[in-house]
Amino acid sequence: MVAINTFSDTLDAQETVWGGIYTEEQAKRGEPLYFKECASCHAPDLMGGEAAPALTGGEFIWKWSGLSMGDLFDRMRVSMPQDDPRRVSRQQKADILAFLLFKNDFPVGETELANRTEMLNRITFLAIKP
C-alpha cells in the first residue's frame, strides 16, 4: 500500500511573508492590473482615500499581521473590487497581491504566489521579520 502525498514537499516548511513567496515577474504582471482594478479607490500610490484604506504603511501592515496570506487573499477574492469581485480572476488577484507585497518591500523569491486560499493559508503575514 502506497500512501501518495502530493503535498509532501511543502508540508514541512513554516513560511512567512518574509520567505520570498512571490516573484518579481509576478509582481510586474500585477502592476497594470492594480492600476486598472484597484487604484481608483486605493490610489495609484496605494495610500487610499476617503472610502478605501491604504494598502501600504504601518496601519495596513499591522492590521493583517498575525493572519495568513490566505486571509488577505480571501478578502480580496470575496469582496474586491467592491462593485464586482468576479470581474477579476483568482490568478489576477494573486498577481495583484504579489504587486502589493512588492510595494511593501517584502523580499522576492523563486516561486510564484499561489492562487489558492488553502495554499496561502500556510503562509503567515508578519509585520516584523522573525
Q: Rule CB under 8 A: say whether 58 interacts with other proteins.
A: yes
Indicate the burial class of 86 (C-beta count within 10 angstroms; 0-12, 13-18, 19 or more). Answer: exposed
Q: How far is the CB of 34 from other proteins (least distance, A)?
A: 13
* Residue with smaller CB distance to other proteins, 28 or 62: 62
Report CA 25 to chain centroid distance, whole Å: 14
Among 20, 24, 28, 36, binds other proteins (CB under 8 A): 36
Q: Rule CB under 8 A: say whether 111 interacts with other proteins.
A: no
Q: How far apart are the first and last CA of the chain?
A: 41
* Binding region for other proteins (CB under 8 A) out of 9-17, 31-39, 95-103, 104-112: 31-39
How far is 66 from 44, CA to CA, in rounded Å?
27
Q: Rule CB under 8 A: say whether 71 interacts with other proteins.
A: yes
Q: How far is the CB of 11 from other proteins (least distance, A)?
A: 19
Residue 68 near residue 76, CB atoms below 8 Å? no
Question: Which residue spans within 17-127 are E strands per DSSP?
Answer: 123-124
Q: How far is the CB of 88 from other proteins (least distance, A)?
A: 11
Provide the β-strand partners of residue 16. Answer: 124
Among 31, 64, 90, 103, binds other proteins (CB under 8 A): 64
